Structure 1
């Protein structure tokens, strides 16, 4: 259930407020797929909702031009979460295509600096609502959401349910691309490794000691305070 968290921004399918999960207030953080297709009305709705900063988790080569211009005054910060060219990237691209939660523990352990950079971007964003996204709003966006929600004290089942919502919301886009049902595909993939999507996510959440993970990997106390203030 989204409990009214879903947002209707014309041109995108997978937009929702994280408010109401843990200690996060409505209007603080929004997750979505790449906003490339937002119409003028879609961008106007985002601006009216209070969005003043966008954190883009994609690598530069993935970025495509927006269909229409973004509102003047809305800042964009890039914080790529895929360590392209690293042994991690080569290994997990072959193993799960970076399209399942299986790789989350390895990324958190081997490249925490990327996660910290993304969290720092949220903490230091302009006053107002912050949107963060990758391409489909599922895996990289899902990992950052998991980290932020864990810090905010959300229950594991809430975090898992929020992650799973993207598969349903993005179904029309998968059909458009001619792709098979992605939830079925990912469930089969993780089952081949002896687990489930839910169990994999729950294990990752349980392994994160907050805020120790963030502070121990380079987030400053000032940024942590700013982040918690943004939540509440």
Structure 2
């Protein structure tokens, strides 16, 4: 199943279709790291795959120039998922650097509007596939994936397995930067907080009531219907 979801877009290493997880159909949603390294061939592959909208979860001061121009018919929407400048951000920047699943429950509870805004961007996107990303395609992308996959009926096991794939896919990029192996580092941090990837993510998934979470936090019934149609 994983191999069938893997996409080869020249310039990026962490690109995969979320289709077949839960009831999600192939071609609807693709998650990846920041597409700034995509070559012209990479962007052409994304276009040929049907992608027409890119949802960028990074803060406005994060983006770097693209290596190659994006296709003219492809729309980019920026919906930052980090609540920069808030007490939440200050706390979790020191606790887990917003780089583990530990902060997911807090973000969903304290800043649900940011999550719903990203979901709405996908629900209301033009016809065609949607790709969404943050910097490495791991944490902000992982949280949005968790929400969307939960709506689509994916199991905690499917969501966890997909989340963990990014550590393997991004290892070459982290090595380039001289960064310590992130799977090891994050496992140690979670252990220090008395939990594991599996326990932390499962707790978040099982406590997330869908679609109530989306509707209670501002997603309209119309947008929910459009989202379900897009995903399934």
- Structure 1 counterpart of 2:95: 95
Aligned equivalents of 2:226, 2:186: Cα separation in 1: 36
| Aligned partner of residue 4 in structure 2, secondary structure | coil
- Structure 2 portions without partners, runs of 5+: none
- Structure 1 counterpart of 2:145: 145
Aligned equivalents of 2:68, 2:21: Cα separation in 1: 32
CA apart distance, 1:197: 1.0
1:211-222 to 2 correspondence within 5 Å? 211-222=211-222
- Structure 2 counterpart of 1:184: 184
| Aligned partner of residue 5 in structure 2, secondary structure | coil
1:145-196 CA distances to partner (integer Å, 9 max, x unpaired)? 0000000000110000000000000000010000111000000001110000
Aligned equivalents of 2:85, 2:25: Cα separation in 1: 37
- Structure 2 counterpart of 1:79: 79
Count of residues paired in the alignment: 232
Runs (4+) of structure 1 exceeding 6 A deviation are none
- Structure 1 counterpart of 2:157: 157
Aligned equivalents of 2:23, 2:75: Cα separation in 1: 25
Aligned equivalents of 1:120, 1:208: Cα separation in 2: 18
- Structure 2 counterpart of 1:11: 11
- Structure 2 counterpart of 1:65: 65
CA apart distance, 1:3: 4.2
| Aligned partner of residue 157 in structure 1, secondary structure | helix
1:19-58 to 2 correspondence within 5 Å? 19-58=19-58
TM-score, reference length from structure 1? 0.99
1:60-119 CA distances to partner (integer Å, 9 max, x unpaired)? 100111011000010000000000000000000000000000000000000000000000
CA apart distance, 1:140: 0.1
Mean alpha-carbon deviation: is it higher for 1-10 or for 120-129?
Answer: 1-10
- Structure 2 counterpart of 1:231: 231
- Structure 1 counterpart of 2:200: 200
Aligned equivalents of 2:208, 2:171: Cα separation in 1: 30
Q: CA RMSD in A?
A: 0.6
| Aligned partner of residue 60 in structure 1, secondary structure | coil
Aligned equivalents of 2:109, 2:117: Cα separation in 1: 14
TM-score, reference length from structure 2? 0.99
Aligned equivalents of 2:15, 2:126: Cα separation in 1: 20
2:123 is the alignment partner of 1:123: yes
| Aligned partner of residue 4 in structure 1, secondary structure | helix
- Structure 2 counterpart of 1:107: 107
| Aligned partner of residue 30 in structure 1, secondary structure | strand
